[in-house]
Amino acid sequence: MARRPIFERGPLEKEFRQRIAVVRKLLDATDSSPGAAGAGSPIDVSRETRGLSIVLLYAAYENLLKGISRSLLESATQLKLGNRRLKPEFQVFAIHAKLQALTDIAAHQIWKGSGRGVIDALLDKTCSIKSNIFPNDGSHMRTGQVVTLCEVYGLNPPGPVLREAWGRINTVVSERNSIAHGQRTPEEVGRNYSIGDLRNLVDIWERRWCDFLTDVENKASTRDFYREPR
């Protein structure tokens, strides 16, 4: 019986591709080009759909990034390593709650037990990682957040993996935010793209983020990714 992989990209990739497929369906249904599915529609909402497609691409990316983080932490806990055996990258997650608690106490209390509690947690023979923690750096899902995720977990630099998608991330985030916060309408954002431009972006988004996911799997599929050597 084959051993289950430590980190499985399959479920994450499946969900991501399903979200991308929804974008393609919307584009197909509202494509008003001659001979396309939406050519005979009495109402042209193609530009609005292209704007909303940017929102959906952002959502697929954000969900994937948070799913990767969650899966890495779940993989660490499933190995049943104590905090003391974890690599420093994962030890930070193991003592996250105690580190947060230190910010809420008076300075003198650090020396009366709270600080020692952090040390005790690091030496614990059980794993106290909670998989719902995301290393949010405040960059609101721009490229800085991808860099932070990779640095926090010890993954490869993301730019060379994401290639042409790397330079599109901040634009997708900015345009999504402008729609979500009411600064621009989906139609206004959609005007920036032809149907061909949007289809090309969707293809790039799917291909490169799946490449990124594969790179994570290759890196995170050994026990040594999570643990310090004895």
pLDDT value of residue 36: 56
Strand partners, 227: 86
pLDDT value of residue 103: 80
Under-50 pLDDT residues of the chain: 1-2
pLDDT value of residue 1: 45
